[in-house]
Each structure stands twice: as C-alpha cells, then as structure tokens.
Amino acid sequence: MIELIPAIDIIEGKCVRLSQGDYNQKKVYNENPVEVAKEFEDAGVKRLHLVDLDGAKAKHIINHKTLESIATKTNLTIDFGGGRKTDEDLRIAFESGAAMVTGGSIAVKDPEVFTGWIKKFGAERIILGADVKDGKVAISGWIENTDIDLFDFLGKYRESGINKVICTDIKKDGMLQGPSLSLYESILQKDPETYLIASGGVSCVDDIVALEEKNVPAVIFGKAIYEGRIKLKDFERFL
C-alpha cells in the first residue's frame, strides 16, 4: 500500500502552496498550519512533509517554531525540508521535533557536509531531495538549475547509504496535471530498493492509484487537498 504524505509548505508561519516553485505564485490556504496538521492526523495519516520555504530562500531554518508546534500538538512523523545548511540547522530541526530532514541543495553544493550528516545522524533520518527539471537536478528552492544528471545524483548517494528519496518534477509541481509516472518508473527500474517518494502533480485520487500501480512506495501531495480535489475521506482507501 502506498504511503500517503500530505505536505504543508510554510511562509511567514502560514500554510501556502507555490506553482512550480515560484515564490511570486504564492497562495495562502490557512493561517494556522497546526490546525491543518491536526486535520490530516484525524483523517488517519501518520506522516507529514513540512517545508520551510522561508528557510529555503534564506539558507537557514526560519520556521522551526511552526515545526515545534506541530510536533508537540500531533503524533505525526514529520520530515522537514528547507533551510538546513549546517549541523546546527539539523540540531534545531531534530530538537524541534523532526523525525527526518530532507537535504537537496546541500547535497549538490556541499556533498561532504551531506554525507557527514548521513554518518552522524544515520541514513534513516536523512532524506535526499532530488528536484528535477528536464532530467537535471535543480536547487535553491528551484531557483537554480544545474547540469547534474538525476540518475548520476541518485546513484552517488545510494552508494553513500541513502535509501529515502523525494523526487519532484518541477514542471509538474503545483500544476495539478498528474505526476511523472514514467520518471518514477525509470528510477525504480534502476534501483527497485529505493524508498521513492513521488512529489509534484498529483491532482486526484486516481493519480495516487496510478503511482501505487507503478509500485511507488510513497507520495507527497498538497495542492490537490487544498483545492478540494482530494478529500480527507479519500485517504481511507489507502490507510
């Protein structure tokens, strides 16, 4: 059964969504992210993907108080992304209640630091964020493109012990046009043991079913919930 991981993206302490990572295409859905997290938990969800978009832009954690509030007021297992550049950032994230942290830009810009995190905190607590555009890795909140091939990037960190990977197709994110099924299928064909977390493009329950049929282990989705295309009661069939 595919694991459902709803997303809460935070700007200025509010629950928002961007389109294709564009900070100028921001829509606020709720002023209280804790309230949203509780609704997810009440629907039976166990996991939450929490992204500090302010932190991603500032290159250090900003919204750790929001993380702490959700962690103390729910029993959700939280993976936290955005704004971690140093060991101190990770310390803050873990002490604020994150069970796992996601690193993407840092894995590109400073691989020694990222592999150091794997050794220091354990591979089970570190998720590789692999954001992709046209087969190449993108970083810095998707503001910056690179020439790094996605499959080379994934292979390198699998050798370093990483098992969990969040892969987001930027062209799909926030567009509600369906996920990149062929991309995820290719990743799993190369390495079926990867705990691949699909992200971007989910528009309805059928998209989740399609990912499950491709044996994708987990899926992150947000905008489809906030726009009412997926209802909380729809979670039941997957839980």
CA distance 146 to 150: 10
Distance CA 212, CA 59 (A): 34
Task: Please identify which residue in the block is written with the tokens 């389109």.
Answer: 19
- Spot the catalytic one: 9, 52, 89, 207: 9
What percentage of the chain exceeds 70 in pLDDT? 95
What mean pLDDT comes out for the span 44-48? 97
Predicted confidence at residue 141, as pLDDT, reads 54
Residue 184 has pLDDT above 60, yes or no: yes
Q: Give the pLDDT confidence score for residue 175 in this predicted structure.
A: 76
Please give the residue that has the higher pLDDT: either 17 or 13.
13
Residues 85 and 64 sit within 8 Å (Cβ to Cβ): no
Asked whether 219 and 197 are in contact (CB, 8 A), the reply is yes
User: In the Cβ-directed half-sphere of 234, how many Cα atoms lie within 13 Å?
Assistant: 15
131 annotated active-site: yes
150 pLDDT more than 60 = yes
pLDDT at site 126: 97
pLDDT recorded at residue 212: 98
Given 52, 79, 89, 131, the catalytic residue: 131
Q: For 3-238, give the CATH class.
A: alpha beta
User: Is 26's pLDDT higher than 90?
Assistant: no
pLDDT digits (tens, 9 = 90+) for 59-82: 889 999 999 999 999 999 999 998
Please report which helix (H) or strand (E) contains residue 56, including its range. Answer: helix 53-58
Mean pLDDT is lowest, of 36-40, 68-72, 102-106, 192-196, for 102-106
**pTM for the whole structure:** 0.92
Q: Where are the domains of the chain?
A: 3-238
Average pLDDT value for residue range 15-42: 85
Is residue 169 annotated as a catalytic residue, yes or no? no
CB atoms within 10 A of CB 178: 16
What is the structure's pLDDT at 127?
97
Tell me what the mean pLDDT of segment 146-173 comes to: 93
What is the torsion angle, in degrees rounded to the nearest 10, for the CA atoms of residue 40, residue 166, residue 124 and residue 15? -30
